[in-house]
Amino acid sequence: MNDYKRILVTAALPYANGPVHIGHLAGCYLPADIYVRYQRAQKRDIKFVGGSDEHGVPITIRAMKEGVTPQQVVDKYHALIKESMEQMNISFDIYSRTSNKIHHETSQDFFLNLYNKGLFEEKESEQYYDEKAKTFLADRYIVGTCPVCANPNAYGDQCERCGSSLSPEQLINPRSALSDAVPVKRTTKHWYFPLQNYEGWLKEWLIEGHKEWKNNVYGQCKSWLDNGLQSRAMTRDSNWGIKVPLPDAEGKVLYVWFDAPIGYISATKELTNDWADYWCKEDTKLVHFIGKDNIVFHCIIFPAMLKAHENFVLPDNVPANEFLNIEGDKVSTSRNWAVWVHEYIKDFPGCEDVLRYVLCSNAPETKDNDFTWKDFQDRNNSELASIFGNFVNRTFVLMHKLCGGKVPKLHEDIIDEKDKQIIADIKSAKEKVESFIEQYKFRDALFEVIDLARKGNKYMQEKEPWIVAKSLAENVTAQKSIDNCLHICLQLTANLAVLINPFLPTTAKKMLHMMKVVEKVLDWENAGSMKLLSVGYSLRAPELLFRKIEDAEIVAQVEKLKSGLVKPESATQNVESIKPNTVTEKSVEPLALNAKPVIQYDDFAKLDLRVGKIVAAEKVEKADKLLKLFIDLGFETRTIVSGIALHFKPEEIVGKQVVVVANLAPRKMRGIESNGMILMAEDVNGKLHFVNPEDTVNAGAGVN
């Protein structure tokens, strides 16, 4: 660490085709920001660059559908994304965009550097072309009928209903997702980057040289390298993007994954004239924060490009996070299963730190994790508010009540073991938090900060200054004891402000205001100090750091999430959010046949489903379809009339287990009152089958 003179941090460029959701934040922007704020507090030379990725086919498709230009699409989303980042206090030194001129020039120079060294392979190939939309089509943009399951909306690379891998040739009646035209084959020429030539070097640099990388990152890279690398086309046929800077390249642009990472270089150029120090000097530490879907591009392809260019430093680490699911289901922008940052800010104004807290303490650092609104509420109410907020509030209230609103003295003569222990805890918290952040373990680091507040609460509870205050008249050391407790708790509060600052910067600022101290107090070197607040200094009245989150707010969010869910109706609709040729979010929901409309969980929860046992059955007179069943539900025996007489003889079904809708309103059939309904499955031939548990369970058992 100390060998580095400067640090350059990048965070994945979000695609300017939609707003950012909390999965993006948890994946890379929040960890990057925590790391950067910590390094700034350490007074290290650090730059934090990012920007919007504004090229690629999905943007042209969206523009075509909305009847606007691609530039209008990216202008809209760039502004929205930038605003969301600012609202969440993601403290980029520059948030740029890849449609800027400087980026076009930087990317073209980069391409020419490799081209002039003869590093590209030029290859011709046959590709599908849409004559109506006048564009070549990636496999994903060709739809047709699946040869395996007859799904009419299978993609040219995969059928999402049956999961079969496909090629466009296998589709029945292939058509363009853009225009519905029948695709034709055309010859086209592209420039390929021969990744296989860098395989040996990558193995040495990454597999041998970076064993300290996170397991999820290292493992994925190793498996890519073990499977062998191949040439990859670095150009595309399109009118939207960075023109290939060669005379015979009309209608060709750089592949979006070639130009996007170069965006980090362009943004640094835009930020500072000293950009080359950050990109070309060996004593720079370059760190890429990304989500797991970008690992191959940042750990294999971009480093190989940098190596080939020869002038640039290589990443020191790529601490990629896994995915954050929402309420147990994968985030899907096409199904609108996401929590959008700009909407969160609207619904929870002033609560950006709460979201930062929840996303960090539940970060998918080593495996996919789940965000639920209940957990959001719990972490706010029982950790932030009741541990951290409560400690700070009690300290301020008691200091005003028992010490005249001023920082009391520390009386060395009566310091006891408990005082010494908490002082030692304050000092050791700094080292723990520091070490975890340097290892990119932000969850663990944040836990240590909260744990220190927890220890503060415990210390105050044991010292009970409010009880001691009752004996002020008869006990000469009572005031001294109160002073010591609150002196220590106040210094601890100041320490908490320093330690929480990288994670919850707004909270740290509020605490500064309460303590009436300048921002310099938040310098990291101050952590562990017991002299942050001067004796006799008067402090402000406490203000609430975190409010309670009410049940109703959580219910409303879950409702909003579920009611916003979009069922993909056509392949075309799904295509929009997909970045071509990358690992993408896939819609996980198969297209059901004759599906009923989506219901909310609450609708389902109204059903009282029970396992019952048929204890007797008899035919109903003059009704050849009906059987009268007597069903043991454990707590009672029900009479249910069921239309299954054509399928079963009464004597055959006695003793069978069934599932009963127990709270269905009673209904009279042929003069018999039926109290409930039994569930049956009907197969393709119209034959009925009982729905029942695999094993015998007690009568009356709930089904949910």
Binding region for Zn ion (CB under 5 A) out of 37-45, 159-167, 409-417, 589-597: 159-167
Closer of 151 and 481 to Zn ion (Cβ): 151
Among the candidate windows 153-161, 201-209, 363-371, 425-433, which touches Zn ion by CB under 5 A?
Answer: 153-161
**Applying CB under 5 A, which part among 78-86, 155-163, 346-354, 652-660 lies near Zn ion?**
155-163
Q: Which stretch binds Zn ion (CB under 5 A): 138-146, 293-301, 432-440, 564-572?
A: 138-146
Full DSSP string of 330-376: --BTTTTBS-BHHHHHHHSTT-HHHHHHHHHHT--SSS-EEE-HHHH
Q: Per-residue contact track with Zn ion, 93 to 112, x per CB under 5 A?
A: --------------------
With CB under 5 A as the contact rule, the residue among 159, 468, 508, 545 that binds Zn ion is 159
Which residue among 68, 112, 149, 544 contacts Zn ion (CB under 5 A)? 149
Amino acid, res. 358: V
> Pick from 22, 137, 146, 260: which binds Zn ion (CB under 5 A)?
146
- CB 195, CB 143: distance < 8 Å: no
**Residue 151 lies near Zn ion (rule: CB under 5 A):** yes
Minimal distance in Å, beta carbon 143 to Zn ion? 12
Given candidates 64, 94, 119, 162, which one binds Zn ion under the rule CB under 5 A? 162
Residue 377 or 587: the one with the smaller Cβ distance to Zn ion is 587
Instruction: Report the residue number, 68 or 172, with the smaller CB distance to Zn ion.
Output: 172
Tell me the chain's radius of gyration from C-alpha atoms.
32
**Binding to Zn ion by residue 142, rule CB under 5 A?**
no
- CB nearer to Zn ion: pick between 63 and 159: 159
Shortest distance (Å) from residue 575 CB to Zn ion: 17
In the complex, least distance from residue 591 CB atom to Zn ion, rounded to whole angstroms? 10
**Residue 35: strand, helix, or coil:** helix
Cα–Cα distance measured from residue 656 to residue 616, given in angstroms and rounded to the nearest whole number:
10
Cα separations in angstroms, 543 against 88, 505, 546, 548: 21, 16, 9, 14
CB-CB contact of 8 with 268 (8 Å): yes
Nearest distance from residue 108's CB to Zn ion, in Å? 42
- Residue 153 or residue 675: which is nearer to Zn ion going by CB? 153
Q: Shortest approach of Zn ion to residue 185 CB, angstroms?
A: 23
Main-chain dihedrals φ then ψ at residue 74, nearest 5 degrees: -70, -30
> Can you say how many angstroms the Cα of residue 290 is from the centroid of all Cα atoms in its chain?
11
Judged by CB under 5 A, the stretch of 149-157, 247-255, 338-346, 559-567 that binds Zn ion is: 149-157
Q: Which one-letter amino acid corresponds to residue 564?
A: G
From 95-103, 157-165, 428-436, 599-607, give the range in contact with Zn ion by CB under 5 A: 157-165
CB distance 159 to 166 below 8 Å: yes
CB of 146: closest distance to Zn ion in angstroms?
3
148 binding Zn ion? (CB under 5 A): yes
Q: In the complex with Zn ion, which residue's Cβ is closer, 143 or 486?
A: 143
> Would you tell me the crossing angle of helices 352-361 and 442-463 to the nearest 10 degrees?
110
Q: Which is nearer to Zn ion, 294 or 572 (CB)?
A: 572
Residues 358-377 that bind Zn ion (CB under 5 A): none
Question: What DSSP element (H or E) covers 185?
Answer: strand 184-194
CB 700 within 8 A of CB 612: yes
**Helix, strand, coil percentages for the chain (3-state, nearest 5):** 45, 20, 40
Q: Going edge to edge, which strands form the sheet with 135-136?
A: 135-136, 121-130, 184-194, 231-233
Q: How far is the CB of 154 from Zn ion (least distance, A)?
A: 5
Given the rule CB under 5 A, which of 140-148, 212-220, 268-276, 596-604 is the region that contacts Zn ion?
Answer: 140-148
- CB of residue 126 to Zn ion, shortest distance in Å: 25
> Minimum distance between the CB of residue 165 and Zn ion, rounded to whole angstroms?
10
Give the up-direction half-sphere exposure of residue 75: CA atoms within 13 A in the CB hemisphere. 6
Distance separating alpha carbons of residues 580 and 256, to the nearest angstrom: 9
Stretch that binds Zn ion, among 162-170, 428-436, 605-613, 644-652 (CB under 5 A): 162-170
Q: Provide, rounded to whole angstroms, the least separation between the CB of residue 570 and Zn ion.
A: 15
Nearest by Cα to 503 from 90, 46, 87, 94: 90
Whole-Å CA distances, 88 to 15, 186, 340:
18, 47, 12
Compare residues 171 and 256 and give the one whose CB is closer to Zn ion: 171
Residues 660/677, Cβ–Cβ less than 8 Å: yes
CA-to-CA dists, residue 451 to 153, 425, 430, angstroms: 52, 10, 12
Let me know: does 452 contact 429? Beta carbons within 8 Å: yes
Residue 171-190 contact track with Zn ion, rule CB under 5 A, x = bound: --------------------
Nearer to Zn ion, 146 or 286 (CB): 146
Number of H helices and E strands in the chain, helices first, is 24, 26
Residue 615 is a binding residue for Zn ion (CB under 5 A): no
Helix or strand holding residue 554 (H, E): helix 551-563
Of 148 and 566, nearer to Zn ion (C-beta) is 148
Residue closest to 44 by CA, chosen among 517, 507, 525 = 525
Nearer to Zn ion, 79 or 149 (CB): 149
Nearer to Zn ion, 85 or 146 (CB): 146
What is the contact mask toward Zn ion in residues 443 to 462, using x (rule: CB under 5 A)?
A: --------------------
Tell which positions 43-62 bind Zn ion, by CB under 5 A. none
Considering only residues 574-593, where is the footprint of Zn ion by CB under 5 A? none
For the bound state, the minimum distance from the C-beta of residue 166 to Zn ion, rounded and expressed in Å, comes to 8
Do 515 and 497 touch, CB atoms closer than 8 A? yes
CB of 618 to Zn ion, least distance (A): 47
> How crowded is residue 95: how many other Cβ atoms within 10 Å of its Cβ?
21
Q: How far is the CB of 147 from Zn ion (least distance, A)?
A: 8
Query: Could you tell me the smallest distance in angstroms from the CB atom of residue 298 to Zn ion?
Result: 33
CB 106 within 8 A of CB 154: no
Residue 162 or residue 313: which is nearer to Zn ion going by CB? 162
CA distance from start to end of the chain: 54
Helix or strand or coil: residue 380?
A: helix
C-beta closer to Zn ion: residue 165 or 534 = 165
Do 507 and 545 contact (CB within 8 A), yes or no?
yes
Stretch that binds Zn ion, among 161-169, 223-231, 617-625, 670-678 (CB under 5 A): 161-169
Task: Please list, in sequence order, all residues whose beta carbon lies within 8 angstroms of the beta carbon of residue 464, skipping any fewer than 6 positions away.
Answer: none
- The whole-angstrom separation of Cα 333 and Cα 325 is 12
Q: How far is the CB of 150 from Zn ion (least distance, A)?
A: 7
Query: Judged by CB under 5 A, how many residues of this single chain contact Zn ion?
Result: 7
**Distance of alpha carbon 110 from alpha carbon 105, whole angstroms:** 8
Among residues 164 and 584, whose Cβ is nearest to Zn ion? Answer: 164
Longest CA–CA span in the chain (Å) reads 100
Least spacing, CB of residue 163 vs Zn ion, in Å: 7
Cβ proximity to Zn ion: between 244 and 571 the closer is 571
The least distance separating Zn ion from the CB of residue 171, rounded to whole angstroms, comes to 10
Nearer to Zn ion, 154 or 627 (CB): 154
- Residues at the interface with Zn ion (CB under 5 A): 146, 148-149, 151, 159, 161-162
